[in-house]
Structure 1
Amino acid sequence: MSLVIAVAFQSKAQTKFSSYDNTYAGKSYEIQISSMEKDKYKLYINAMSLDPIHDEGGISIDQSNNQVFLNALAEAKLKYEEWIKTAKENNVKELYKTMTTKSKVVGYFLYGNEWNFQFLVNLKFDFKILESKGEIKYLLLVKTGELQSSSNEFMKVDGFVLVFSSSKEIDDFTSIISTEKITAFLNKPKNEDLFKD
């Protein structure tokens, strides 16, 4: 049954929606969208790979859980800002701590030349402080953990992570995937609709 779901999941055409910057990795990651019906969509958010071999993948969010994900990210941002303040007040230069914030998404990854999906991923929100080249960095990490294909239990990857280096990066990202921006994008006339016969 999961193979049928995976095929149905993949059959919808995806369009480039936007991209976001990961300044920690010095890279920009693409966000794609698929929509077959009005007000129904899936976002495919590419993320930084934690796997040494398989580097393409990320998380997928649909219209029913986009706001839940955004709420979790807003909650994590508040904790991130609180912990940065505490770290600065106490001169903490190294730390790795998991937050209690939770959110569920779909994970996806490219294994060989096939896209694979794990249909239930419990995201983990982590706070990390590290010192690099004399500079203290405060990171919010949103991690998938290890992903396993729903159609082949032997296809696994180490997972993917969204890395935010500042509150501004979090705000920029949440603005990109806001319901308003998605609705505006979906309501924009398609090129072929512009030319009437």
Structure 2
Amino acid sequence: MKKIIIIAMLFTNLVAMAQEKIGSYTSSFNPDKTEFDVQATQPKKDKFDYYISVLGEKLTDDVNLCLSSKNAEKFVEAMQICKEKFIEWEKTAKDNNVTDMSKEFPVTLPPIDVAWYSSEWWFSWNHVFTPKFFVFKDGGCAFVLYDKVTASSNKYIDKKFYLVLKSQDEFDSLIKNIDKEVVTRHFSEKQDVKDLFK
């Protein structure tokens, strides 16, 4: 228990101080909030973490999917497969007037942590999620990653989250930011500015 608390405290410091916005992606699922940040920590020996902002139960919820750089390539590969399947299945659904159904994508995402703020930071570690393809009652289609997670340090604290993508462009807007070069360029440019003032 003590170890979990120490890890959570260290992680809280990372979330509060070290992560910076490197880009954003779009999701048109909720018209009241369509842009979401992608953040990253400064690389140390080529290791860093991504923080992908997602929807919570309320628009004001601060919820992030946390992905280590070592799992980023697997995440992008899985999302590319989902994008291709989404395009194929969306066409099939529209061509056949399919409504109100869901089907798992043929991928498993690499381990992801979930962090959220509710008077303090809470963390749920090491989840392996399987996203779903949804066809809604109106015939609209979406990639949906949804779950309810429990804080690793307190079984009475939980959080629902939603990552919903409804088009190829929305997939691309997320995928393009899960890129080591984007992170390296961001922090390199920041250092270049500091180096001007010697």
TM-score normalised to structure 2 length? 0.86
Superposed CA deviations along residues 142-183 of structure 1, whole A, max 9, x for unmatched, are 23x1111111121111x2121111011101210122222122
| Match 2:80 to one of 63, 74, 77 | 74
Q: Separation in 2 of the partners of 1:39 and 1:186? A: 12
Give the direction of change, closer, same or farther, for the CA distance of 1:141–1:155 in structure 2 (3 Å limit). Answer: same
Does the Cα contact within 8 Å between 2:22 and 2:177 map onto a contact in 1?
no
Mapped to 2, the partners of 1:45 and 1:52 lie a distance apart of: 17
8 A contact 1:3–1:150 mirrored in 2: no
Aligned partner (choices 12, 25, 29) of residue 30 of structure 2: 25
Q: Among residues 89, 105, 116, which one is paired with 2:112 in the alignment?
A: 105
Task: Work out the CA distance in 2 between the residues paired with 1:168 and 1:52.
Answer: 25
1: distance between equivalents of 2:165 and 2:43? Answer: 31
- SS at the partner of 2:185? helix
The corresponding residue for 1:142 is 145
Alignment of 1:163-178 (within 5 A): 163-178=164-179
- How far apart are residue 10 of structure 1 and its match? 2.1
**1:126 positional shift:** 0.8
Question: Which residue of 48, 61, 69 maps to 1:63?
Answer: 69
Per the TM alignment, residue 8 of structure 1 is displaced from its structure 2 partner at its CA by 1.6
More strand by share: 1
Alignment pair present for 1:154 and 2:160: no
Specify the alignment match of 1:183 in structure 2: 184
How far residue 44 of structure 1 moved from its aligned partner, in angstroms, is 1.0
| Contact 1:54/1:110 (8 A) holds in 2 | no
* Counterpart residue type for residue 23 of structure 2: S
**Inter-CA distance 194–147: structure 2 relative to 1 (3 Å threshold):** farther
- Off by >6 Å, runs of 4+ in structure 1: none
How far 1:110 sits from its partner (Å)? 1.4
Q: Pairwise mapping of residues 28-43 of structure 1 onto structure 2 (< 5 A)?
A: 28-35=35-42, 37-43=44-50
Percent identity among equivalent residues? Answer: 27
Cα RMSD (Å) of the superposition? Answer: 1.9
> Is the partner of 2:6 in helix, strand or coil?
helix
Question: Alignment partner of 2:91: what SS?
Answer: helix
Contact 1:106 1:121 in 2 (8 A): yes
Q: Does 1:83 align with 2:89?
A: yes
Matched residues in 2 for 1:160 and 1:193: separation?
A: 40
Task: Name the SS of the counterpart of 2:40 in structure 1.
Answer: strand
Q: In the aligned structure 2, how far is the partner of 1:195 from the partner of 1:53?
A: 40
Structure 2 contact 43–184 (Cα < 8 Å) conserved:
no
Unpaired segments ≥5 residues, structure 2: none
Q: Distance in 2 between matches of 1:127 and 1:98?
A: 6
